[in-house]
Amino acid sequence: MTNITPEEVKQRLDAGETLNLVDVRQPEENEEFNIGGILLPLGEIQSMQTEEIENLRENEVICYCRSGNRSGIAATILEQMGFVNVKNLVGGMLAWNQKFG
């Protein structure tokens, strides 16, 4: 797993790049604020219910959560499942909102 900063993600999004973002928070957290991507709560990843992102195994996948903790766990699990380029958004949505909110 590699870390990626909110600045790097925002710069790439602002440049029009399509990113494979995976929000591992709960639905209510996602409804409050999100930066796009697929909602796939950590519990589903832990129980290996990853059908929604199976086609991304060979692509870059950026996981994010509230603070970076759950997304770090999710990224590690995805790597163990064979995903080859998984990144964790450092600081999560707290850092994102602090910088860009």
Q: Identify whether the C-beta of residue 22 lies closer than 8 Å to the C-beta of residue 37.
A: yes
Position 48 scores a pLDDT of 94
pLDDT band, very low/low/confident/very high, at 98 (cuts 50, 70, 90): very high
Residue boundaries of the structural domains of the chain: 2-100
63 is catalytic: no
CATH of domain 2-100: 3.40.250.10
> What CA–CA distance (Å, rounded) separates 77 from 57?
12
- The single residue of 61, 65, 75, 77 carrying the catalytic annotation is 65
Residue closest to 50 by CA, chosen among 86, 91, 19, 17: 86
Q: Identify whether the C-beta of residue 35 lies closer than 8 Å to the C-beta of residue 49.
A: no
Position 49 scores a pLDDT of 94
Percent of the chain at pLDDT > 90 equals: 98
Q: What is the pTM for the complete model shown?
A: 0.97
Residue 9, both tokens? 């993600």
